[in-house]
Chains A and B, each alone.
Chain A
Amino acid sequence: DQQVKQNSPSLSVQEGRISILNCDYTNSMFDYFLWYKKYPAEGPTFLISISSIKDKNEDGRFTVFLNKSAKHLSLHIVPSQPGDSAVYFCAASFRGSQGNLIFGKGTKLSVKP
């Protein structure tokens, strides 16, 4: 059973608008969450992270929200740009471990000009 779920395989957004990517998890022991962006033929690139002691972390156009009671996190990109078009992976880990990441299946974001 998947512990990290990204239920939307794809998302299409107009340039300048907000992109909202969602992620759900089942294990309440996860205490560190990350978002990675992946372009074709490249490895995932770290985007932003959040510790379970916070409910929001912002970095420029990217904001991650964490709702622990709902076991849900989301990545907001505003304003969206065509260069943001990529596959976005949500990942979770236990920071007390060696840092093993549990990944979702990814959401392909397309930002149209």
Chain B
Amino acid sequence: GAVVSQHPSRVICKSGTSVKIECRSLDFQATTMFWYRQFPKQSLMLMATSNEGSKATYEQGVEKDKFLINHASLTLSTLTVTSAHPEDSSFYICSATPDRYQPQHFGDGTRLSIL
């Protein structure tokens, strides 16, 4: 089955640090990848849609200068949380799909804790 790898699984760092999270589709090519965020006891909320070779599409309320997304190849998308602060602490998870008509496959997520 389709496998999506996300790295790192957990990050603890000081306020002001920038953190990069990688999302890879291991056995299929993904024109589109998605980045979600989940706060405790809340649903997964879509942050942005990452399109290979073009700019990401951000959801309303998500700062594109704060959450930099790069989709440089058909198997890799990265999310960089720039100058992270404690309020950015959350669970970040990516997903990918071979095409829009197939289910999304998710990575295992990254638990980000900003001190």
Contacts and interface: CB of A to CB of B under 8 A. Distances in A.
Contact of B46 (A101, A104, A106): A101
A101 B104 contact: yes
Given A98-B32, A100-B49, A4 B43 contact: yes
Interface string A65-98: 0000000000000000000000001000001011
A41 B38 CA distance: 13
Contacts of A41: 9, 108
A49 B103 contact: yes
Main secondary structure, interface of A, reads loop
A43 B34 contact: no
Given A43-B108, A98-B32, A101-B34, A89 B43 contact: yes
Interface string A39-76: 00111111001000000000000000000000000000
Interface in B52-66: 57
B106 A43 contact: yes
B49 A95 contact: no
